[in-house]
């Protein structure tokens, strides 16, 4: 028989929960939605969501650091759709499962992390070597580092233990 360890006894999971919350609340449904509802950041009307100041922040980042964000090629938009349609719901489920210690999230976490790592690796390859390479590589790499580090961290956390949230009674 196994019992769920409360989150306070699993401090290694707290950064994952925080990562999921940031992605759900800010990245997926603000930054990504902006890129889906504004096809051309050089000629647009402000949408209802995200709010104008949020759009302006995304565009400032794109103009100053991230040319591919402003160019929005088809492959880039495909990664944004993956984030909006699949990662967003996963973040909500992940927040719940990691807080409550639901072990059914283990395999989906490994799959999610593998896809996220792959997407970000492709994006960073464009940022470094592509036709839309960033002129300011260090800030872009630092800004994207969590999306390389956390997938690896989650895979290690979930792979090593078939019961990551519970202990023997």
Digit-coded pLDDT (tens) for 32-89: 999 999 999 999 999 999 999 999 999 999 999 999 999 999 999 999 999 999 999 9
The per-residue pLDDT for range 15-28, each reduced to its tens digit, is 999 999 999 999 99
**For the segment 103-151, what is each residue's pLDDT rounded down to a tens digit?**
999 999 999 999 999 999 999 999 999 999 999 999 999 999 999 999 9
Beta carbons within 10 angstroms of residue 41's beta carbon: 17
The secondary structure of 63-80 as a DSSP string is HHT-HHHHH--HHHHHHH
φ, ψ of residue 166 to 5 degrees: the values are -130, 165
What's the chain's Rg over C-alpha atoms?
18
Average pLDDT of the residues of the chain: 97
Q: Which residues form the domain of 20?
A: 2-168
**pLDDT for the residue 115:** 98
Q: How many domains does the chain have?
A: 1
Average pLDDT score over residue span 95-103: 98
94: nearest Cα among 146, 150, 49 = 150
Record the tokens describing residue 162, joined without a space: 């078939």
């Amino acid at each position: 028989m196994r019992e769920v360890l409360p989150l306070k006894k699993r401090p290694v999971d707290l950064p994952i929960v925080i990562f999921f919350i940031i992605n759900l609340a800010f990245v997926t449904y603000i930054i990504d939605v902006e890129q889906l509802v504004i096809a051309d950041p050089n000629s647009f009307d402000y949408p209802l969501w995200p709010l104008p100041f949020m759009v302006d922040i995304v565009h400032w980042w794109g103009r100053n650091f991230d040319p591919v964000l402003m160019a929005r090629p088809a492959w880039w938009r495909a990664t944004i759709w993956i984030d909006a349609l699949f990662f967003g719901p996963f973040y909500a489920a992940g927040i719940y499962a990691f807080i409550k210690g639901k072990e059914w999230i283990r395999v989906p976490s490994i799959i999610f992390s593998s896809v996220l790592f792959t997407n970000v690796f492709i994006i960073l390859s464009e940022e470094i070597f592509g036709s839309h390479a960033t002129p300011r590589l260090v800030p872009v790499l630092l800004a994207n580092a969590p999306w390389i580090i956390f997938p690896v961290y989650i895979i290690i956390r979930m792979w090593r233990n078939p019961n990551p949230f519970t202990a023997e009674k």
